[in-house]
Amino acid sequence: MSPMNRRPSSLLSALTAAGLLGFFMTNGLAQQAGSGFVLKLDGALTETRPPSQALPAYGRAWVVEGRPEEQTTLIGDAEVRRAGSVIRGDRITYTSSTDELVATGNVRVTRDGNVFTGPALQLRVDANEGTFTSPDYYLALQGGGRGHAERIDFLGPGRALASRATFTTCGPETPDWQISSRSLFIDQDDDRGVSRSAVLSFKGAPLLASPYFAFSLGNERKSGFLAPSFGITSRSGVDLMVPWYWNISHDTDATLYPRVSTRRGMQLGGELRYMRDNFAGETRFEANPYDQEAGSSRHFWHTRQSFSNLGGWGGGWDMRGVSDDRYFVDYSRSIVTSADRVLPRTVSFGRGLSEDWSMTVLVQKFQSILDARPGPYEREPQVVTRWLARDRGGFDMNSTFDVTQFISPDAVRPSGTRLVANPSVSWPIRRPGWFAVPKATVHATSYQVNTALGTDYGLQRVVPTLSFDSGMVFERPHTYAGRDITQTLEPRLFYVRTPYRDQSAFPVFDTAPADFNFAQLFSDNTFIGNDRIADVNQLTAAAVSRLIDPQTGAEGLRFATGFRSYFSDQQVSIPGVAPRTDRRSDLLVAAAGPLGSHWSIDTGLQYSMATTVLPRFSVVGRYLPPDGRVLNAGVRYRRDQLGQIDVSTRWPIVDGWSSLVRLNYSFLSEGYDPVSRVENTRGFVESLMGFEYTASCWALRVLTQQFRTAANASTTAFFLQLELNGLGTIGQNPFLVLQRNIPGYRLPQGTLEPGSRYFGYE
């Protein structure tokens, strides 16, 4: 949900925003322009009417009787049109002296696609006072809507009272669900409605009831209760939440989440959001004063803020915290949040100093839990200054100056200050069909290290790097699957030379070996971070081939391959990682894109040419036709880390029923899962099974989910949701769970665009 866009779901606002009062909001029944009526062409078909536009009325019938200055009666297929509104009936009478319009017999009123029908309408036009007897109505809302009222009393401009009103988006015969209200008061000037004794029925049985319900008529937010949600998890038991929304101001709101669960007790959550011109932010919290299972109080909090152009400065903060190590294990509702181990607390701000210079200041601390202790180094602070100058006499120049104070999270590892200067200059040559970029870089570093024993020492190094990047692009017409396409061949060579500097005595504050992938192939350092600069003498060779639609430019299949050749052994390493001695890297191969008939594929592998094994591979196929069916199947393997078979689907069974399945099975029994951070064992890492029933005006979703949260521990959750089209949902919303577990899943009912001024024109 986008910021500042939340409001209580309106059970009966559908009866108001449709524009029933708008039929009769103009003064006078007929106006003339000059000596006669004037028709004005609107060739642009504009969606809004100019406020100064005259509003004449036009009438027709088989018989017209009376005098316009006294009383006019239209008899037989009578019709009156005015400003997009149409009133029809067997007989329509307008009396000038009393400003009263009376329509009887098959009365039909339409405006902007909304239709009201009934036996009789009586209205004092200027005062907008009168009665519509026993009207049926169809409302041109998103998803449509219909209903019936015993009567509608017009109480003045913008005010009306509907008695015994109903609303549903189902068909006219015996709707599956319906809202009934004893009375419904509408005040358009105040943009509010009040319903009394409202009852929501499903399949003839009352489901929810409210003696008093106030709501906003338009898209304005209004304070009040949101739809309740409930669910079941193995760690919390039966869980019921009733949110309350507080619309504090036009740019600030808050939501409170009172929650009760059978195993955890009472819990209170909340969210505060605000959005100003130059800054925005939100703060969330969850607090349980006494967890019945743990026997103690527990909490979670998360606050983030961003600001820009405040005296030329921009920045913000993002901070999280929990009360104890197992909070996410016990309270999380997905495998992603249960895997959180390091919670950053970051404050940063920066500004541009001139056209070429900028500066950023960052302070970062962490709360580390479970197996992530002692955690990463904290930065208190980090100050980075950058200078970037492009196309200065054909040269691009870039310099980064970084000063960071690293604080050790434990009493064993050293702390210290690191100063980095990293200037570079390149001469990019880009021509149609080819490019070449020679580049020179210097990496100068100075350390002042404080050991755990209280001794201090300093270290310095200067490491130069030369690189040359080049590539070409070839194109040719080709035919694929019976279609004309353009095929490209894009070879690329990248050479890097960095001499050896002994760095074994240098501390490791923020550095790790870089993952070997296509993006890293064209990096001049095999480490991430500034504590190690790898000695390299290597050449990267890669090629990409793409299939492109020559008419639209859309990319179809893409193929890529690449590897490195090393001309010397690498000597620089970090503790615990052996330096590289191979003369050739592993070979990377990838292919991705549509295959036709709604099939697509995304594959990649890493092949060791030295040992002829596959350290890593991934094959994922997807079937996604437009009728809502989804099928995903894949295998992912990473030596000693990941080995999983993943299948997910949404597939129709019969008569509106569809199955919802996701099975993620691990076939490894060693190493640690990189997502859940749980030790690998053979078995299901995550599974989801359920059903979805879709009717014309409602949908039901029932599913159960299980995922690992720790070694020999898992969480099982149960979801039950009833969705009433055009109204809202009841129960715990599983959409995000389904969207993450079944890629490509989408709701059966699409969101309609807002109605046009010309929709339903008569």
β-bridge mates for residue 513, sequence order:
527
Mean pLDDT of the chain: 86
Q: Give the pLDDT confidence score for residue 219 in this predicted structure.
A: 65
β-bridge mates for residue 646, sequence order:
634, 664
What burial class does residue 329 get, using C-beta atoms within 10 Å of its C-beta: 0-12 exposed, 13-18 middle, 19+ buried?
Answer: buried
Q: Taking a C-beta distance cutoff of 8 angstroms, is the pair 651, 633 a contact? A: no
Q: Give the pLDDT confidence score for residue 9 in this predicted structure.
A: 40
β-bridge mates for residue 598, sequence order:
none
User: Which among 277, 360, 370 has a CA at the least distance from the CA of 316?
Assistant: 360
| CA dist., res. 564 & res. 539, Å (int) | 6
> In angstroms, how far apart are the furthest CA atoms of the chain?
109
Q: Cα Rg for the chain, rounded, in angstroms?
A: 34
In this structure, the strands spanning 177-187 and 192-202 are: antiparallel
pLDDT-based confidence at 20, cuts 50/70/90? very low
Query: Residue 244's Cα: distance from chain center in Å?
Result: 22
509 contact partners, CB below 8 Å, separation of at least 6: 377, 404, 406, 416, 418, 529, 531
485 contact partners, CB below 8 Å, separation of at least 6: 477, 478, 479, 547, 548, 549, 550, 556
| CA dist., res. 721 & res. 137, Å (int) | 29
DSSP 346-383: EEEEEEE-SSSEEEEEEEEEEEE-GGGTT-PPEEEEEE
Q: Give the pLDDT confidence score for residue 334 in this predicted structure.
A: 74
> Which of 49-63, 429-443, 512-526 is predicted least confidently?
49-63
* pLDDT tens-digit map of 539-582: 999 999 999 999 898 888 999 999 999 999 999 999 988 888 88
User: Does the pLDDT at position 402 exceed 90?
Assistant: yes
pLDDT-based confidence at 217, cuts 50/70/90? low
In this structure, the strands spanning 527-528 and 599-607 are: unpaired
Backbone angles phi, psi at 62, to 5 degrees: -70, -35
* pLDDT tens-digit map of 626-682: 888 999 999 999 988 889 999 999 999 998 899 999 999 999 887 777 666 677 888
* Tokens of residue 720, six digits: 């039950």
* pLDDT tens-digit map of 148-159: 999 989 888 878
User: Does the pLDDT at position 235 exceed 80?
Assistant: yes
Q: Give the pLDDT confidence score for residue 470 in this predicted structure.
A: 98
369 contact partners, CB below 8 Å, separation of at least 6: 322, 324, 325, 328, 340, 341, 342, 343
Q: Give the pLDDT confidence score for residue 481 in this predicted structure.
A: 75
Q: Give the pLDDT confidence score for residue 75 in this predicted structure.
A: 94
Higher pLDDT, 312 or 173: 312
Q: Which amino acid is at 633?
A: A
User: Does the pLDDT at position 282 exceed 50?
Assistant: yes
Q: What is the DSSP letter of 741?
A: H
Q: Give the pLDDT confidence score for residue 760 in this predicted structure.
A: 55
Q: Give the pLDDT confidence score for residue 38 in this predicted structure.
A: 45
* pLDDT tens-digit map of 485-541: 999 999 999 999 999 999 999 999 999 999 999 989 999 999 999 999 999 999 999
* pLDDT tens-digit map of 100-127: 889 999 999 887 778 889 999 998 877 8
Q: Give the pLDDT confidence score for residue 193 in this predicted structure.
A: 76
* pLDDT tens-digit map of 684-725: 889 999 999 999 889 999 999 998 876 677 889 898 999 888
237-264: average pLDDT: 92
User: Which among 66, 69, 70 has a CA at the least distance from the CA of 78?
Assistant: 66
Q: Which residues of 440-449 are buried (b: 16+ CB within 10 A; e: fewer)?
A: ebebebebeb
Q: How many contiguous H segments (helices) and E segments (strands) does the chain have?
A: 3, 47
Q: Give the pLDDT confidence score for residue 32 in this predicted structure.
A: 36
pLDDT-based confidence at 267, cuts 50/70/90? very high
Q: Taking a C-beta distance cutoff of 8 angstroms, is the pair 279, 308 a contact? A: yes
User: Does the pLDDT at position 34 exceed 60?
Assistant: no
Please give the share of the chain, as a percent, with pLDDT higher than 90.
54
593-613: average pLDDT: 92
3-state secondary structure of 414: coil
| CA dist., res. 443 & res. 466, Å (int) | 11
> Which of 141-150, 414-423, 481-490 is predicted least confidently?
141-150
pLDDT-based confidence at 49, cuts 50/70/90? low
172-189: average pLDDT: 86
* Tokens of residue 5, six digits: 């866009």
Name the percent of the chain in helix, strand, coil, to the closest 5: 5, 60, 35
Number of neighbouring beta carbons within 10 Å of residue 738: 24
192-198: average pLDDT: 84
Task: Please name each of the domains of the chain with its CATH number.
Answer: 13-223 (2.60.450.10), 453-612 (no CATH)
